[in-house]
Structure 1
Amino acid sequence: MAAFNLTPTIPSSFILMGIPGLEAAHIWISIPFCLCYVIGLLGNFMILFVVGKEQTLHKPMYLLLCMLALTDITTSTSLIPKALCIFWFNLKGITVGACLTQMFVLHMGTLIHSAVLVAMAFDRYVAICNPLRYTTILSNARLAKLGLACLIRAVLFILPLPLLLIRNSFCANLIIPHTYCDHMAVAKMLCGDITVSKTYGLVLASVCIGLDLTLIALSYCLIIRAVLRISSKKAHQKALNTCTAHICVMLTSYPVFLFSTLTHRFGQGIAPQVHIILANVYFLLIPVLNPIVYGVKTKELREKVSKHTYRMCSRWPVDFKPT
């Protein structure tokens, strides 16, 4: 039997275990998963709807926010419905193609999310340091090219991950102790040495995220230098307030991602359940927090959302209007 398990295979499907060791609590764990998914979808679709409807919001800042919303919708939709099927119906099987596609979409979404945050930092730099040329520098055409560049970068860098996996055979029992097809979880089932795949994944995360963080830090250094040259304290506060939402989104995104990535590769002493929960927290909370942060911190967006929410509620039949 041991020899059989070590025989290279070309599997037709894998088995996702959810959160091993917490099977009895899967039904309870599914509650925050479902709530976060629904709230995230509502919040991000609301942003897309409001920005699309309001001509006054067709500005670089809000168009970039739409890119962020689309990324969050895509990544969460590629993960959470399958996780809920595991928790609710014990449907653990996933085909190899679906598994590798899910891996590709999730990791691609992470890189796009990071790239859009860099673009947002550049947007804030131009708005504060070159306000008179803001609409010229960040025209809609350039924003479209910027979004396309973010997508192409993510595809080119993430595509080797599934390709490195699919060209090898699998020797393990094809059981993935996770709620989704994480790169390292799938790589550990490969026959032979996985050093190339493991190293590429680590270098990819380090270089791309490291470069993005460096560019964001550079943008904010230039912003701070420009703000310090302004004599008015009121102008200081107004300039920095425009960056608050972006800073809050970064503080919720990067620490969770980096901690999850590092503990998965180097935290051998940490329980597997902690690894899995941390990995899910990133994809669960970020789609929920981004629209809330921008809705609360951005007055113009908050007012437009309130206006459209009131209009939708006012169209309900009298018997169903909220009290």
Structure 2
Amino acid sequence: MCNPRSLRFCLFTGTLCISEPCCLNNHLMAAFNLTPSDTPTFILTGIPGLEDAHAWIAIPFATCYTLCLLGNFSVLFMVGKEQTLHQPMYLFFCMLALTDIVISTCVVPKALGIFWFNLKGISLSGCLTQTTFLNVASLMQAAVLVAMAFDRYVAICNPLRYATILSNARIAKLGLVIFIRGILCVLPVPLMLSRLPFCDNRIIPHTYCEGIAVAKISCGDHTFLMLYDLVMLLILGGIDLTLIGLSYCLIIRAVLRISSKKAHQKALNTCMGHISVMLMSFTFYLFSNLTHRFGQGIAPHVHIILSNVYLLVPPMLNPIIYGVKTKEFHDKMRKNIFRR
């Protein structure tokens, strides 16, 4: 029989109480080895449908992660060592490198553990920590791309005041604002996830704890969480893309007013690296997120592969693109390699 106190507990845990019989019966409790006080432990399946190929899939994962770490740590080392690279553009490049390292490190080590060693279990606290760090770093990456677009706008449209507008102190404050924005926008997600009840289904068909995937296996009402996540995606993504688009419209207008073709080419060369990184990052980000929410006809393993491509490919290619497109950085890197 279910007294009022136990009835309240049933409602809180998300189990079904019909009339007098209360909560899960003993048979289900024994079958799943669960008690109401159990700390949830989730199972990450990896890429469903491709389990037999996990060992081979891990090879490009490990390769991309290794190249990502080598490239981005090289950027941090070069900018830190070379005094001539202590300029706003390269400081923003360092911020981007840091976010790339955090994003890939949040995902790849756990994914390799799943693929190679079958380490599929993850605790609720570990799951929330992973999704929090990943989402904060992703929002910071988008904001850094906006800051880099503004940097190019000032450099081309107002070069005489470039050093005054983008002083090191202002860049440090901007970095702090970018970090605080990421924390404030992401913090409600793990708080809402931690309050959701999880019943017998604790299998997450993914390589990492993606917030929406975790919410979908909850036996509670996660409508508000899904709505919040979608609104944040559309608002923040819309604002970031609008600011970047506005910056480059003003840059193009300024470049077209320059009569010299050589000046045209120089101005465009300073932007090409950032444009390439921006298009690649936002394309992967929006395509991955929108297909995960609205692409119901797409196979689950396609969703998961797209999500991992977004988290692996841009962090790996960003330092390569900037190394090729930014002449000063390329020259410094080549000089140091040949010296060694």
Q: Which range, TM-score by smaller chain?
A: over 0.9
Contact 2:288 2:303 in 1 (8 A): yes
Residue identity matched to 2:220: G
Contact 2:136 2:183 in 1 (8 A): yes
CA shift, 1:230, in A, is 1.2
TM-score for both structures, normalised by structure 1: 0.93
Equivalent residue of 1:49, what SS?
helix
Choose 166-175 or 94-103, whichever is displaced more. Answer: 166-175
Q: After TM superposition, list the pairs within 5 Å mapping 1:266-277 onto structure 2.
A: 266-277=294-305
Identity %: 66
Whole-angstrom distance in 2 between the partners of 1:54 and 1:235: 27
CA shift, 1:235, in A, is 1.1
Q: After TM superposition, list the pairs within 5 Å mapping 1:122-137 onto structure 2.
A: 122-137=150-165
1:44 counterpart residue number: 72
1:265 counterpart residue number: 293
Which consecutive residues of structure 2, in runs of 5 or more, have no partner in the other structure? 1-24
Which consecutive residues of structure 1, in runs of 5 or more, have no partner in the other structure? 313-323
Distance change in 2, residues 1:203/1:3 (3 Å): farther
Whole-angstrom distance in 1 between the partners of 2:193 and 2:303: 21
Residue 112 (structure 2) aligned to one of 84, 91, 103: 84
Aligned length: 312
Whole-angstrom distance in 2 between the partners of 1:22 and 1:197: 30
Residue 179 (structure 1) aligned to one of 195, 207, 222: 207
Residue 330 (structure 2) aligned to one of 298, 302, 313: 302
Whole-angstrom distance in 2 between the partners of 1:172 and 1:21: 22
Q: After TM superposition, list the pairs within 5 Å mapping 1:84-123 onto structure 2.
A: 84-123=112-151
Contact 2:40 2:198 in 1 (8 A): no
Encode CA deviations 1:115-140: one digit per residue, 9 max, x unaligned.
00000000000000110110110000
Residue identity matched to 1:162: P
CA shift, 1:306, in A, is 1.1
Whole-angstrom distance in 2 between the partners of 1:302 and 1:279: 31
1:315 counterpart residue number: none
- Structure showing greater radius of gyration is 2
Q: After TM superposition, list the pairs within 5 Å mapping 1:7-22 onto structure 2.
A: 11-22=39-50
Runs of 4 or more above 4 Å deviation: 1-10
Residue 198 (structure 2) aligned to one of 170, 173, 183: 170
Whole-angstrom distance in 2 between the partners of 1:181 and 1:8: 23
CA shift, 1:225, in A, is 1.3
Choose 164-173 or 192-201, whichever is displaced more. Answer: 164-173
Whole-angstrom distance in 2 between the partners of 1:279 and 1:103: 13
Residue identity matched to 1:11: T
Residue 236 (structure 2) aligned to one of 204, 208, 214: 208
CA shift, 1:10, in A, is 5.2
Whole-angstrom distance in 2 between the partners of 1:17 and 1:97: 18
Query: Structure 1 residue 197 and structure 2 residue 225: aligned?
Result: yes
Higher RCO (Cα < 8 Å, 6 or more apart):
1
TM-score for both structures, normalised by structure 2: 0.89
CA shift, 1:47, in A, is 0.4
Whole-angstrom distance in 1 between the partners of 2:303 and 2:36: 28
Whole-angstrom distance in 2 between the partners of 1:38 and 1:18: 20
